[in-house]
């Protein structure tokens, strides 16, 4: 038996998106020829010396009404199944 369709508990829309927002601080060591040890003549932003994640937020968003449902998902896990999604959407801690 196939599970029922996942819908937003607020507006009953099925247009849901899993989102992962992250904020990073990129550092470049100042040396004699250019900022960053990996940069030779000019600063190329993708050649950073250090990157530190300072914030992260994961949630499921209803694209119809804008309601957000905080959750946690990882690339290391086997994924989120139907039951996990139902728990996330029925949680009272939604935004």
Give the domain extent around 73.
Answer: 16-90
Task: Tell me how many domains the chain contains.
Answer: 1
Task: Label residue 73 exposed, middle or buried (CB < 10 Å: 0-12, 13-18, 19+).
Answer: middle
Examine residue 30 and state whether it is found in any structural domain, yes or no: yes
- How many Cα atoms within 13 Å fall on the side-chain side of residue 82? 6
Q: What is the pLDDT of residue 3?
A: 56
| Tokens matching residue 86 | 């139902």
Q: How far apart are CA 76 and CA 78, in angstroms?
A: 7
Asked whether 26 and 45 are in contact (CB, 8 A), the reply is yes
Examine residue 43 and state whether it is found in any structural domain, yes or no: yes
Q: What is the pTM of this model?
A: 0.66
Examine residue 95 and state whether it is found in any structural domain, yes or no: no
Examine residue 6 and state whether it is found in any structural domain, yes or no: no
Using one digit for the tens of pLDDT, what is the confidence trace for 55-91?
A: 999 999 999 999 999 988 766 666 666 777 777 888 7
The pLDDT of residue 93 is above 60: no
Q: What is the pLDDT of residue 16?
A: 93
């Amino acid at each position: 038996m196939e599970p029922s369709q996942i819908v937003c508990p607020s507006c009953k829309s099925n247009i849901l998106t899993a989102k992962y927002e992250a904020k990073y601080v990129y550092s470049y060591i100042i040396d004699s020829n250019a900022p960053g040890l990996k940069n030779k003549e000019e600063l190329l932003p993708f050649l950073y010396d250090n990157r530190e994640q300072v914030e992260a937020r994961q949630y499921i968003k209803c694209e119809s009404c804008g309601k957000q449902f905080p959750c946690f998902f990882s690339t290391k896990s086997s994924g989120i199944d139907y039951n996990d999604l139902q728990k996330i959407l029925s949680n009272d801690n939604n935004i």
